[in-house]
């Protein structure tokens, strides 16, 4: 559980948000979609209750995509700089997947759940002792 609030924003600062202290779950996703959208080996998020997230400024644009799991994902991003800030509908969903890179302070990923490991990039070593799943759990 985060004991203090977290702050975050898009790269240009047009969208700013606060996450109240709450239970959070760190996830590193190795699916092809996360690799593509992050331009990296994996995507990283913290999953938090939607009611813990407050938008301070700006309004993200949205687009709907189909994930490797077949589930629809509502991606929220900054129209100006393109930074993805979270996945989910802040008006309807119980939980949001906040993109870890949009947070002002880094989070500890040492115990992050690893998903879609069947698609992890060559050379990526999974940490021992953490939950990992070949696909979406």
List, for residues 47-63, the tens digit of each pLDDT value. Answer: 999 999 999 999 999 99
CA dist., res. 116 & res. 137, Å (int): 9
What distances in angstroms separate CA 19 from CA 3, 25, 31, 87, one per listed residue?
Answer: 11, 13, 26, 14
Is position 124 within any domain? no
Is position 129 within any domain? no
Is position 31 within any domain? no
Full-model pTM: 0.89
Is position 100 within any domain? yes
Q: Name the pLDDT band for 84 (thresholds 50, 70, 90).
A: very high
What distances in angstroms separate CA 5 from CA 44, 52, 54, 86, 130, one per listed residue?
Answer: 19, 9, 11, 17, 25
CB 104 within 8 A of CB 7: yes
CATH number, domain of 18, equals 2.170.150.70
Q: Which domain holds residue 98?
A: 6-24+43-108
> Number of folded domains in the chain?
1
| Sheet of strand 25-29: strand arrangement | 61-66, 72-77, 84-87, 95-99, 43-49, 25-29, 113-115
């Amino acid at each position: 559980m985060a004991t203090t609030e977290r702050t975050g924003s898009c790269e240009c600062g047009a969208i700013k948000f606060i996450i109240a202290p709450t239970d959070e779950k760190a996830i590193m996703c190795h699916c092809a979609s996360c690799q593509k959208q992050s331009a990296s080996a994996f995507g990283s998020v913290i999953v938090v209750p939607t009611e813990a997230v407050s938008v301070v400024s700006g309004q993200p644009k949205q687009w709907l995509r189909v994930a490797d799991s077949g589930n629809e994902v509502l991606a929220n991003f900054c129209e100006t700089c393109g930074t993805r800030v979270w996945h989910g509908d802040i008006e309807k969903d119980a939980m949001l997947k906040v993109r870890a890179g949009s947070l002002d302070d880094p989070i500890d990923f040492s115990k992050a759940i690893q998903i879609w490991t069947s698609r992890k990039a060559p050379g990526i070593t999974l940490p021992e002792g953490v939950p990992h799943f070949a696909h979406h759990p």
